[in-house]
Structure 1
Amino acid sequence: MFKVNGAQANRLSGRAMALLFEVSPHIFAALCVVAGTVLLTSGVTPAYEDRLDEIRAVLPPILIELSHFGASISGFLLLLLSAGLWRRRRGAWLAAIVVLIVAAVFSLLKGLDWEEAAELLVLAAVLAPCRAAFDRRSRMFEALSPSWVILVLTVVGGMLWLGFFAYRDVAYSDDLWWSLLIDREVSGFLRVGAVLSLLAVIIAGRSLVSAPGARSHGPAGEAEARRALAVLQAGDGVLPDGWLAMLRDKALMFSPSGRSFITYRVRGRRWITMGEPVGPEEERLPLLWSFAEMADTYGGVPVFYAVEETALADLATLGLAVRKIGEEALVDVHAFTLQGKSRQNLRTAVNRCEREGATFEMLPPGAAADCVDGLRAVSDLWLTHHIGVEKGFSLGRFDPAYLALTPVAVVRQGGRIIAFANLMPGGDRLAVDLMRFTPDAPPGAMDFLFIHAIDWAKGQGYRWL
């Protein structure tokens, strides 16, 4: 037999209350879905005739009809607000209380449905003291998630089926759309059904095509780009992909200290990062959590693209699934050699380029600005020859300001640039981003460039390219 002392009982009670507090938004969301479904079901089925006769003796038909319509609209609003309650929206909490109280009044006015009104008031009374559980800011016209869209469409579809079934023996006529309280309330069902169907389709369509947060989380501005550049130049915890932030085609999220950042873009409901956080190791996991929480507050899904294997453990703590989409080729610059039969083609490429007068030069950061016209000519010819356009997000584009930030490897022939590649430094390695050459460059010109770039990286103390 197990004995529980007072201290243990208090701890267990405290944990139980903490768990209840944590899940209470989800419980209230489910209860509001039930309440909304009940209101919609009540709105499309005939009321009790004796109660309806009593209310008719006191209230005018137009008020009863408006109450019937208002109760159904309130049920539909509760379905929408339940999504906000699930996401812990403070505004949804307040709006749900108001809608529940108003719906209770409508339930009484449309047919003295006091049982339904009592249930709605009890739910509002239980929800009211739980404000602390709803701690997230509200957003106007927040899109529903696909699962919530399906839920709303299912409930509204079920309401329509039930209404047509309940009134299947009533002959249709155009007069039903304009009459009040005749033919066992079928006219009210037709009007409510038409309005709610239209609203459901509009909201579902808008939710499915919207990108929550995309407008307020657009490309980084000048001030943010300068902050990110300072982090990159500091070099602490910098990976090569971090330099893609300088393209300024993505949004940036900084840590509280400003020493780390994440580069990301919003596409549909997905918040996609380009690589991992850039900055000190101790700030990586908190920044990952902050990003995931921010995406969740907008109803989005965080996606971490092109991350290192070393980041998988941290991402697993966020409850994310891992999908392998490819591998990155790395060359150990200290072990690389042109010796051996397997490297014969590389030796041939180097020898041919040298015979045809090709020379290699590594431009230091900032030097690309002095030969931007030559680089642009190569880039334009390359794009034309490949019938291509500039990419983005995970690949660089020809941007003189971007190329000036990092070393650029160039190959010249007769003083003219015929090939180039910019190199992004990070830790003990370099990564190649833009790789372009002219159609008339000697065969193997890019091999020539990479082999000399490997020698240069080795001389600079890098381990990988």
Structure 2
Amino acid sequence: MGDSLASLETEVAPAGASRLKRWTPWLLGFAFVALGALCFEALKDMATELRYEAVVDAIHDTDSLRLVLAGLATALSYFLLTGYDYFALRYVGAVVPYRVAGQAAFIAYALSNSIGLGVLTGGAVRLRLYGAAGIEPERVGRAIAFNALCFGLGVGVVGALSLMWAADAVAPAIHVPAWLVRGVAAAFLVAIATLVWMCRNGGERRFLGRITIQAPALALTLPTLLISAFDIAASAMVLWVLLPEGSVDFAPFLAFYAVAVVLGILSHLPGGIGVFEAVMLLALGGDAPPEDLAGALVLYRVIYYVLPLMLALAWLVIHELRRARETAVVRAMVGLTPTLMAALTLIVGTMLLMSGVTPATVEATTLLALHVPLPVVEAAHFLGSIAGLAMLFVARGMIQRIDAAWWAGVALGLLSLVLALPKGIAVNEALVLTGFVALLSASRRQFTRHASLLAQPFSTGWTAAIVAILATVTLLLFMVYRDVPYTQELWWEFEFDAHAPRSLRALLAVALLALAFGLRQLFRPASPTLQQVDRAALDRAALVVSAQDKADAGLALMGDKQLLFSESGKAFVMYGRRGRSWVGLFDPIGPENEVPELIWRFLEQAREAGGRASFYQVRPEYLPHYLDAGLRPLKLGEHASVDLPSFTLKGSRRANLRQGVSRGEREGLTFEVIPADDLRSVIAELRAVSDAWLREHRAAEKSFSLGAFAENYVLRQPVAITRHNGRLVAFATLMVTDRKIEASVDLMRHLPDAPKGTMDFLFVKVMLYFQTENFQRFGLGMAPLSGMVEHPLAPNWHRLGRLLFSHGEHFYNFQGLRAFKEKFDPQWQPRYLAAPGGVAPLLVLADTAALISGGLRSMVSRQETAKR
């Protein structure tokens, strides 16, 4: 089934977005209250009828044929799910083999269907895998929007058709006349058919004067709608075949199932758990015995959610064991192993907690009494529940690829495996734990971060998920033992058949330990105050910069940014802070194997200080690391670089540049590069030119992603100068490294009375100089907001970027800067902002602009076009 209708909400936005935003908190609050009331209504009467033993018996009595049919329906559903991605990629014009699209879709749906947590989404999986296949993030985003749109339409059509077919059976359950049910369903179908027909040619369509929809073409919409319909039917079949034979016809069941799926998605709970079950219990409570229905729902969760997750993880582990590294896609798939292992660890931990509050069978209790001492049974039950709680916290560390989390997971898995038999002859539990330990052992190479597991801060969402799991376990305990009268003596009763006291003690220990951990997180010491970077740190950073092939790493030497070094000291993040925003400039500087650790450390440090972490102007090749950390990429523009070995002034296209250089030489312009060691002899002249340039442009010095004329900074790098009849009239500070791969210009300034064409002369001479020095490329810097996608399903961010690029010349010379760099026929590569979701990117961009401009007042001033 689809990842989330939330994607549809963000990509298909109404024109009256501001009014919707004002009402969104109230609408969401009302929806959650309504869903909560639905769950309570469905479960309050059912709970008095359900018996734990009867539910267990119903699960055990399910015959093998129904289990096989449910498995086949699950396989069919997941096969159909791959069709979403196949047609979505065709829509955005991406050529990807079905094998790659199928693998990516299966892994993404297995993960998002089962967990649904913020950092464990199918969208992040697709961005990583399709990005490795060479598809731009913008196209992947449009493909995700296409999937969400078609899924929403498909599930609506299936639900409406089912309601029309089975209106006589559905009407009594919802207490309305059958003719009204058919009328509403027919009206909905007519509306969908009209919508599809009006959008048959794709493009932007406006409805009711306000609502604007970016629609795909009919040739792709219809096949995907069919896939959606068959997918919903196949996934519904998984649960339907598990119900007692003849309890409900498939048509009315399909209608209720479609409604339950949509409500579960809108709840934003992992897998819609709780909401989906509540709707099905409410709808089918009169058609099947409650214990049979509850048992079928449990089996449905295991077959449709847990098994595909384990298969996806086993698939990745097989690739890992085979050391299949022949393609970037395979490497990206294997890199998802920690995320899926975290999901599986969360499920196993929940299983252990539930096992701790449920009784062993009579047969198991009898065997234990004959062969195992009572203290061993008590200890196994007690420690097994604590191990389950520990796994919930360890799962967080696995997402962060911490090696200590891997060791803890293996140790907890082995301990729980040893305790499974004395706890209650839990054979099925032991099998699951065996598979868990085997999968975790095979994925050892993916957990490479050397960090403290206990020191990792927990996000609000992760804490809420743990609280929800513990609350569910507590409710399960009260349901299982509601017939046991509570007395104080229960706490001190130690007998082989004293299951309720044993579960109470285990749950109390779990609650106390969870409370202690929560208090530790709440009262953890604040992060130390960061000091301004000193000369020793700059010298240390200079050694790292000199070993890089990216020239813009030299901006770290300006001294206006904080530096976070790796443990080895061979890599660092340079960043600025404003308000709650912690903005890392570029990707971490240093060896590639140290980049993931620095990203995580930076995020953790920002979170501990109550800030929002982001990275500004990151490269496409590093996007998987940011996706793993839960950040979202937004395109900022494109970076230009010139291939120096092939650069030439010959040919008609370079006539203006060639003539400019010749004219400058005739007028007495000379060019020279002064090494950093010799700059003190001309530093006064350089400052005079810089001050004159600032006065002429009525500008203040910039910072952060731009250089400023600070003497200590200028003296660290070579400078190219141009003289006119012996007088210094222009200069450019040069950013280079010892590897001689890339060179770039930082500051470019000139006197107001310099001859016309002086800067073009200087710029071309600089490029020719680096060509003779055997550098490989010359960086021209970024053209903001250029290269935004022009497409009917382009994200709103790209549409806004195109608008600003076309009409924002009052604020910034967007088009002029792009045109200037186009003269050199550069290669363009996208640059991104990696930031949290929601409104965080807008806040980060505002704070970044203030960091660059030195304050909010000068944020919208025209930037110097010759800098970056």
Specify the code of the residue in structure 1 equivalent to 2:771.
K
Q: Tell me which residue corresponds to 1:341.
A: 652
**8 Å Cα contact 1:249-1:392 kept in structure 2:** yes
For 2:743, which of 422, 430, 455 is the aligned residue? 430
CA deviations over 1:20-75 (Å, ceiling 9, x no partner): 44699xxxxxxxxxxxxxxxxxxxxxxxxxxxxxxxxxxxxxxxxxxxxxxxxxxx
* Cα shift at 1:85: 9.1
Trace 1:302-321 onto structure 2 (pairs within 5 A). 302-321=613-632
Distance in 1, Cα, partners of 2:634 & 2:393:
34
Distance 1:373 1:124, change over 3 A: farther
1:379 is aligned to 2:690:
yes
Distance 1:309 1:20, change over 3 A: closer
Structure 2 residues not aligned, in runs of 5+: 1-63, 68-298, 303-344, 353-383, 397-456, 464-506, 779-868
Distance in 1, Cα, partners of 2:458 & 2:645:
57
Displacement over 6 Å in runs of 4+: 8-11, 123-126
Specify the code of the residue in structure 1 equivalent to 2:747.
L
Distance 1:17 1:361, change over 3 A: same
1:459 is aligned to 2:459:
no
Distance 1:382 1:20, change over 3 A: same
For 2:666, which of 347, 355, 358 is the aligned residue? 355
* Cα shift at 1:88: 9.8
Distance in 1, Cα, partners of 2:664 & 2:566:
48
* Cα shift at 1:325: 1.1
Q: Tell me which residue corresponds to 2:591.
A: 280
* Cα shift at 1:464: 1.0
Distance in 1, Cα, partners of 2:666 & 2:774:
30
Q: Tell me which residue corresponds to 1:129.
A: 513
- Aligned-pair identity in percent equals 38
Q: Tell me which residue corresponds to 2:566.
A: 255
**8 Å Cα contact 2:717-2:733 kept in structure 1:** yes
Q: Give the number of equivalent residue pairs.
A: 297
Q: Tell me which residue corresponds to 2:601.
A: 290
Specify the code of the residue in structure 2 equivalent to 1:322.
P
CA deviations over 1:144-195 (Å, ceiling 9, x no partner): xxxxxxxxxxxxxxxxxxxxxxxxxxxxxxxxxxxxxxxxxxxxxxxxxxxx
Q: Tell me which residue corresponds to 1:388.
A: 699
Q: Tell me which residue corresponds to 1:327.
A: 638
* Cα shift at 1:129: 2.6
* Cα shift at 1:359: 0.4
Q: Which moved more, 1:380-389 or 1:11-20?
A: 11-20
Distance in 1, Cα, partners of 2:518 & 2:394:
7
Higher helix content, 1 or 2: 2
Q: Tell me which residue corresponds to 2:174.
A: none
* Cα shift at 1:384: 0.6
Distance in 2, Cα, partners of 1:294 & 1:363:
40
Distance in 1, Cα, partners of 2:554 & 2:519:
38
Distance in 2, Cα, partners of 1:384 & 1:407:
24
* Cα shift at 1:217: 3.0
Distance in 2, Cα, partners of 1:281 & 1:451:
33
Specify the code of the residue in structure 2 equivalent to 1:287.
L
**TM-score between the two structures when normalised by the length of structure 2:** 0.32
Distance in 2, Cα, partners of 1:355 & 1:135:
74
1:301 is aligned to 2:612:
yes
Distance in 2, Cα, partners of 1:84 & 1:304:
21
* Cα shift at 1:283: 0.7
1:239 is aligned to 2:623:
no
* Cα shift at 1:344: 1.9
Distance 1:230 1:128, change over 3 A: same
* Cα shift at 1:132: 4.0
Specify the code of the residue in structure 2 equivalent to 1:284.
V
Specify the code of the residue in structure 1 equivalent to 2:610.
G
For 1:449, which of 762, 767, 773 is the aligned residue? 762
CA deviations over 1:211-240 (Å, ceiling 9, x no partner): xx7x9235312222222122223x1x4522
Q: Tell me which residue corresponds to 1:398.
A: 709
Q: Tell me which residue corresponds to 1:370.
A: 681
Distance in 2, Cα, partners of 1:251 & 1:389:
22
Distance in 1, Cα, partners of 2:776 & 2:685:
30
Distance 1:336 1:10, change over 3 A: closer
Distance in 2, Cα, partners of 1:382 & 1:388:
8
Distance in 2, Cα, partners of 1:315 & 1:341:
44
1:229 is aligned to 2:558:
no
Distance in 2, Cα, partners of 1:84 & 1:291:
15
Distance 1:247 1:456, change over 3 A: same
Distance in 1, Cα, partners of 2:714 & 2:677:
8
**8 Å Cα contact 2:348-2:391 kept in structure 1:** no
* Cα shift at 1:394: 0.5
**8 Å Cα contact 1:349-1:448 kept in structure 2:** yes
Specify the code of the residue in structure 1 equivalent to 2:590.
G
**8 Å Cα contact 1:275-1:305 kept in structure 2:** yes
Distance 1:386 1:139, change over 3 A: farther
* Cα shift at 1:16: 5.1
Q: Tell me which residue corresponds to 2:727.
A: 416
1:267 is aligned to 2:578:
yes
Q: Tell me which residue corresponds to 2:533.
A: 220
Specify the code of the residue in structure 2 equivalent to 1:224.
A
* Cα shift at 1:351: 1.6
SS in 1 for 2:777: coil
CA deviations over 1:107-129 (Å, ceiling 9, x no partner): xxxxxxxxxxxxxxxx9997543
Trace 1:68-107 onto structure 2 (pairs within 5 A). 86=460
**8 Å Cα contact 1:411-1:417 kept in structure 2:** yes
Trace 1:105-184 onto structure 2 (pairs within 5 A). 128-130=512-514, 131-132=516-517, 136=521, 138=523
Structure 1 residues not aligned, in runs of 5+: 25-82, 90-122, 143-212
CA deviations over 1:286-328 (Å, ceiling 9, x no partner): 1111111111222221110011221112211112111111112
* Cα shift at 1:399: 1.6
Name the Cα RMSD after superposition.
3.4
Distance in 2, Cα, partners of 1:375 & 1:127:
67
Distance in 1, Cα, partners of 2:733 & 2:388:
57
Distance in 2, Cα, partners of 1:251 & 1:85:
24
* Cα shift at 1:133: 5.6
Specify the code of the residue in structure 2 equivalent to 1:337.
T
Q: Tell me which residue corresponds to 1:196.
A: none
Distance in 1, Cα, partners of 2:698 & 2:617:
27
CA deviations over 1:410-462 (Å, ceiling 9, x no partner): 10112221111111124511121101011111111111111111111112221
Q: Tell me which residue corresponds to 1:151.
A: none
Distance 1:464 1:441, change over 3 A: same
Distance 1:336 1:125, change over 3 A: same
Distance 1:138 1:266, change over 3 A: farther
Distance in 2, Cα, partners of 1:224 & 1:332:
33
Specify the code of the residue in structure 2 equivalent to 1:424.
M
Specify the code of the residue in structure 2 equivalent to 1:228.
A
CA deviations over 1:62-96 (Å, ceiling 9, x no partner): xxxxxxxxxxxxxxxxxxxxx9994999xxxxxxx
Specify the code of the residue in structure 1 equivalent to 2:744.
A
Distance in 2, Cα, partners of 1:345 & 1:386:
26
SS in 1 for 2:763: helix
* Cα shift at 1:135: 5.4
**8 Å Cα contact 1:238-1:279 kept in structure 2:** no
